[in-house]
Structure 1
Amino acid sequence: MLPPEEEIFVIGAGAMAEAFVKGLTSRKAIRAQRLMVVNRSQSDRLNNLCQTYGVQAASWEQVENARLVVVAVKPANVGEVLERIRPMLHGQPVLSFAAGVSIEWMSSVIGGASPVIRTMPNIPVAVLEGATAVSFGPGTSWTDKELVRYLLGQLGEVVEIDESLMNSATAFSGSGPGFVCYFLEAMEDAAVRLGFEPETARELLLQTVVGTARTLREWGLSPHELRRRVTSPGGTTHAGVTVMEESHLRGIVDKALGAAADRSAEMGDSYK
């Protein structure tokens, strides 16, 4: 838990900001009263965060006293937010959740007043089972790195990567839940066509996914290894996998992730 006198300043009150607040307060990583939150608009969202989690509505000037500043706004709004807080920055690290927005550009906007840390969480952080990629900008101290790893760790797994991989992480991990859900949609629809009620199909499907992920983790297997174990020659899994291979599913997935990574880079360029 952070020292009781230290404050974290969160800019934004959307889904990612709420996931961050929920993780920290539910895991008691920081006293709720030490989480200061401000939002550019939608005061109802801010009020809901304060009432639900006990965090404090803040004024922009309070950035100056923060131990860490978290920018949890849409990528298109990052520049405006950084311009607004620049006069209050004096070395406290700035942690960004914005897809596509580079550390170099954010540092230039704030005139190098603070080290910048770029992350890419995914939606499961909302239930504290997320995957977050993080890249630390120049000048980030060891203490600040440990603080950020600790805080993000309340939301799930944290993996440090080189920033050159961040657009790929956006495609692979950030957009990954959407791709997984698209595949699950197709499986659910197919199950209904096989005669299942949608609710029954979903119940079986979700547990299959959860159980498979847990098996991979606890047994320390790669997806390839587990697939081979459950694929008997001439069996049902073999029949289905054969269709997927003949339909070039791997190539489709490769193109999908490539398109998402390219779009992340394009978005970052457009926001500058």
Structure 2
Amino acid sequence: MSKIFVLGAGAMAESFIKGVLQKHVVSPSDITVINRNRPERLNELRRDYGIRPAESIADAEDSEVIIVSVKPYDVRDALKELSPFLHGQTLISFAAGIPIAFMDRVVEGRAQVIRTMPNVPVAVLEGAIAMAVSERVGADQLERAKQLLRQIGTVVELDEELMDAATAFSGSGPGFVSYFLEAMEQAAVELGFSATMARQLLIQTVVGTAKVLEEWRLSPTDLRERVTSPNGTTHAGLAVLNESGMREAILEALTQAAKRSREMGEEYTSE
């Protein structure tokens, strides 16, 4: 059983702690947490999950896995503080846009670095987690990292060159999906539904569609074609979406989000 040191105490860190404890892959006594600001958060996490607040960042020396769950602009300073206490531990970063090479350089090669991009649904243990791995990470360490992260969602390992796109696709994805659902909800209200009724139908439509795609092992194209009859209601609505250039807009939205992820990495890692 790994001892885990968590750097940061925000929502993403709490989701990780909740997942690994709820699935019983570690015990509360094996998790130590430190937070630079808002010390009251450590008391909340101790009260809710039984974890141990760190006395100092030096406590990381006794860990096997370190979770870096701080804002991208804080990664450099956090890793500099952490570096003297590293001796080959697995370091898993949740920070958007921060490359493996940069983290390796800051910690002077003293850790096995894994870069990830979890999304908001990790809060309900249903996240999508993109992962890129340093070539220095051993097979056992990689499998242990995957085991931990699987407790909060689905893990997909990919080449690091795709991480900015993954940040746009799955990281920002819940925001894009919510934007579309927001428009559907507003349209339903204009068609005569109450806001409460519209949201009930909307949420269940989304949840049910996701389950069908997963359990029937269908692609979105497969399911769309199954529910679209020639000259039917779905066909009529899709014709409007196609004419509006929705596909092109989605591509451009993802392209710009990926570009911003790259820019953030450059901003926060420049000397």
Q: Tell me, in whole angstroms, the C-alpha distance in 1 between the residues paired with 2:181 and 2:38.
A: 33
Alignment-derived partner of residue 19 in structure 2: 23
Is residue 207 of structure 2 the alignment partner of residue 214 of structure 1?
Answer: no
RMSD: 0.7
Alignment partner of 1:154: what SS? coil
Q: Does 1:73 align with 2:70?
A: yes
Matched, 1:39 2:35: yes
SS at match of 2:66: strand
Give the partner amino acid of 2:123.
Answer: A
Please give the alpha-carbon distance, in whole angstroms, between the structure 1 residues aligned to 2:204 and 2:28.
34
1:239 aligns with 2:236: yes
Q: How does 1:172-211 map to 2 (within 5 A)?
A: 172-211=169-208
Which ranges of structure 2 fall in alignment gaps of 5 or more residues? none
1:56-102 Cα distance to aligned partner (Å, 9 max, x none): 10121111110111100000000000000100001111110000000
Ranges in structure 1 where 5+ consecutive residues have no aligned partner? none
Matched, 1:253 2:231: no
Q: Deviations over 1:111-130 (max 9, x none)?
A: 11111100000010110111
Deviation for aligned residue 1:138: 2.1
1:100 paired with 2:97, answer: yes
Q: Secondary structure at the match of 1:221?
A: coil
Instruction: Report percent identity of matched pairs.
Output: 53
Q: State how many pairs are aligned.
A: 268
CA distance in 1, matches of 2:42, 2:89: 23
What is aligned with 1:55?
A: 51
Deviations 1:163-184 (A, max 9, x none): 0000000000000000000000
Correspondence 1:80-229 to 2 at 5 A:
80-229=77-226
Determine helix, strand or coil for the equivalent of 2:150.
Answer: helix
Alignment-mate amino acid for residue 161 of structure 1: L
Deviation at 1:255, TM superposition (A): 0.2
Q: Distance between the aligned counterparts of 2:218 and 2:112, measured in 1? A: 38
Counterparts of 2:188 and 2:44, CA distance in 1: 39
Deviation at 1:18, TM superposition (A): 0.6
- What's 2:61 paired with? 64
3-state SS of 1:252 partner: helix
Structure 1 letter corresponding to 2:127: G
Distance in 2, matches of 1:155 and 1:176, equals 17
